[in-house]
Amino acid sequence: MYKTLFIDFDDTLYDTRGNAELSLKETFDHFHFDRYFPNFEAFSVSYWKTNVELWDAYAKGDIERDYLMVERFRRPIADGIDENGSHLSPTKEFCLQVSDVFLDFCANKPGLVDGARELMTYLREKGYRLYMCSNGFHEVQYRKLRSCGLSDAFDGIILSEDAGANKPSLDYFNYAFRVSGASPSETLMIGDNYVTDIKGAQSAGLHVMFFNRHPLTFSTPDFVDYEIHSLKEAMNIL
């Protein structure tokens, strides 16, 4: 039925959250942020709250990449307390320095979601055309692909920076159709983000497979063609 699969990368195949948490701790230690925070957990909670908010805004096109890169560290760092008992006031330049170090740590992490490598091997053997569809940043995504060993797993890499639009925008998916030569009726989108991956793909006329990694806390509000809770389940369907 399906000839082409559009597959999200971050937190669908690549364990972005797990790898990023390890990298965040390395960044915390690298910059000796323990001088300003009671513990790493305090910094981590602030970072993740900020990061989720900013990526949601970025996906909607409300903010630019450069703003995200600065703000996702400026806000949590500003929660720190200096030796005088005042909140920190990090400069844009320092925040970009922290971001560069963090992304460098992230890009070298190999961790995959359980079953990702097996799934990609299975899909290749089944003869599907495989395209990675991601809102991630160009230079970081290609390094992550090399680090986790999936550089050769796809027929093509479709990134929002190249498309000039982010998922869930119709412009992004139209670009993906042009690059891949796929038709919506013969394409399935697989992803873990209900808004950017699933609703976006549905709006573009694709069938969808929602990888609901947190079924105890998130119930799918609308119809999806398939819902899975592990990547192994995808192999039983496709």
Domain locations in the chain? 4-15+112-237, 17-107
pLDDT at res. 177: 97
Query: Which residues in the chain show pLDDT less than 50?
Result: none
List the CATH code of the domain at 17-107.
Answer: 1.10.150.240
Strand order in the sheet with 156-159: 156-159, 129-134, 4-7, 187-191, 207-211, 226-228
pLDDT at res. 184: 95
| DSSP SS3 for 233 | helix
Q: Considering only CA atoms, which of 41, 62, 44 is closest in space to residue 53?
A: 62
Q: What is the DSSP letter of 118?
A: H
| Consecutive H or E run containing 190 | strand 187-191
Residues 56-92 have pLDDT tens digits of 999 888 999 899 999 999 999 999 998 889 999 999 9
pLDDT at res. 17: 93
Q: Considering only CA atoms, which of 18, 231, 196, 2 is closest in space to residue 117?
A: 231
pLDDT at res. 218: 86
Q: What's the first-to-final CA gap in the chain, in angstroms?
A: 9
Please indicate whether the domains covering 4-15+112-237 and 17-107 agree at the CATH topology level: no
What's phi and psi for 192, nearest 5 deg? -100, -15
List the CATH code of the domain at 4-15+112-237.
Answer: 3.40.50.1000
Do 59 and 135 meet the contact criterion of CB atoms below 8 Å apart? yes
Half-sphere exposure of 30 (CA within 13 A, CB side): 14
DSSP 71-111: HHHHHHHTT-B-TTS-B----HHHHHHHHHHHHHHHHT---
For residue 174, give both structure tokens. Answer: 């139209």
pTM for the whole thing?
Answer: 0.91
